[in-house]
Amino acid sequence: MAWAQSPKIHGLLLDITGVLYNSGEGGGAAIAGSVDAVSSLRTADIPVRFCTNETQVTCRKLVEKLRRLGFDDIEENEVFSPVPAVVTELKRRRLRPHLLVHSAALPDFDGLDTSDPNAVVVGDAAEYFTYDRLNEAFLVLMKSPDVVLFSLGMGRYYCETDGLKMDNGAFTRALEYASGKTAEIIGKPAKSYFLSAVNRLGVSAESVVMIGDDVVSDVGGAQQAGLRGVLVRSGKYRPTDEHHPDVKPSGIVDDLAQAVDIILRGQ
């Protein structure tokens, strides 16, 4: 397992949905072995950050959910989500967003001026991706050439306990096609997202491994930023992911538990 041996691993980025747990009714379910795997990394003093495009809840609620599932020691400041990043960007550029996001995520946008919007933010709105709401966002985009489109990640689908679900990338593509605009991606697979997460670890990109279930957003995005990208066969993984035409994972493992076991044996 060359990916775990050289260069020496000084930090890990872990996807959440599909690696730690599968979302779904009742809060979802932890993936077998993932709780103990995270505990083992803590014991070994390997720095970890949890990188997610999850935008159906606030960061605080996400951490509370993870703790209920057994991840007792995860702190909010260890979770790297695109929502705080897009809020910072909106404030920096003095943009007024139209929010096409899940209602449970709205508290993270408190304090922003949303009157007469000159930007559209697309998150994982799930059941709120109705025609009327999509068309409302489209009409905002068409008001002016200067209206900016942001997408909180570009995933095609994700996995819940009852199967696959369409992700916000598909709805962003629809808005891009209809409006003629190109979205600014805040989240995976954007290179800036991974480099910001690495910066939080305080180590070099080549010494960091990203572990995820999305061969494009997690693995490919990390590799584009100079990290190693390891694919897990859990979550939304499909066997065809191992033969992706554009992305060759640095390593492929059954699940997070196996990845951590390999890493600890190589340290």
- Measured CA to CA, the distance from residue 168 to residue 176 in angstroms comes to 12
**In three state form, how does the secondary structure of 42-83 look?**
HHCCCCEEEECCCCCCCHHHHHHHHHHCCCCCCCHHHEECHH
Yes or no: say if 226 and 191 are a contact pair by the CB < 8 Å rule.
no
pLDDT band at 27 (very low <50, low <70, confident <90, very high): confident
Domain boundaries, the chain: 2-54+189-266, 82-185
Class of the CATH-defined domain 82-185: alpha beta
CATH 3.40.30.10 is right for the domain spanning 2-54+189-266: no
pTM for the full predicted model: 0.91
- Measured CA to CA, the distance from residue 98 to residue 100 in angstroms comes to 7
At 38 the three-state DSSP class reads helix
* Predicted pLDDT at 249: 98
pLDDT above 80: residue 175: yes
Yes or no: say if 230 and 219 are a contact pair by the CB < 8 Å rule.
yes
Give residue-wise pLDDT tens across range 52-92: 999 998 999 999 999 999 999 999 999 999 999 999 999 99
* Average pLDDT score over the chain: 95
